[in-house]
Amino acid sequence: MTDDQGWGDLGCYGHPHLKTPNIDAFAEQSLTFTDFHAPSAACSPSRAGLLTGRTPYRNGMYTIHLPGKPLPYLRSSEITLPTILRQHGYAHTT
């Protein structure tokens, strides 16, 4: 998932001019998708939807940070995918 990039903006999906060698190499070794729906048109709500599996209006992250406004935060009561994975034995390694 990347910000401000459409599926057609990648070499692995046939863009004639944009060069995306690292993503293209990754795509060659993995599963690629031809249809994806984001929870929001904005980055923060989309990430929150990906992390929680809930729509931005349900998880409370329905805005982006705007100068002069309070920072939007995901509710502490939300259960995220990393939390569930950690509970099932997955661990972050470097």
DSSP state of 70: P
**pLDDT attached to residue 54:** 93
**pLDDT attached to residue 34:** 80
Residue 53 falls inside a structural domain: yes
**pLDDT attached to residue 28:** 93
| Number of domains observed in the structure of the chain | 2
**56 and 23 in a common domain:** no
Residue 94 falls inside a structural domain: no
- Spans in the chain with pLDDT lower than 70: 1
Contacts of residue 91, Cβ cutoff 8 Å, sequence gap at least 6: none
**pLDDT attached to residue 49:** 92
**pLDDT attached to residue 1:** 67
Residue 30 falls inside a structural domain: yes
**pLDDT attached to residue 39:** 86
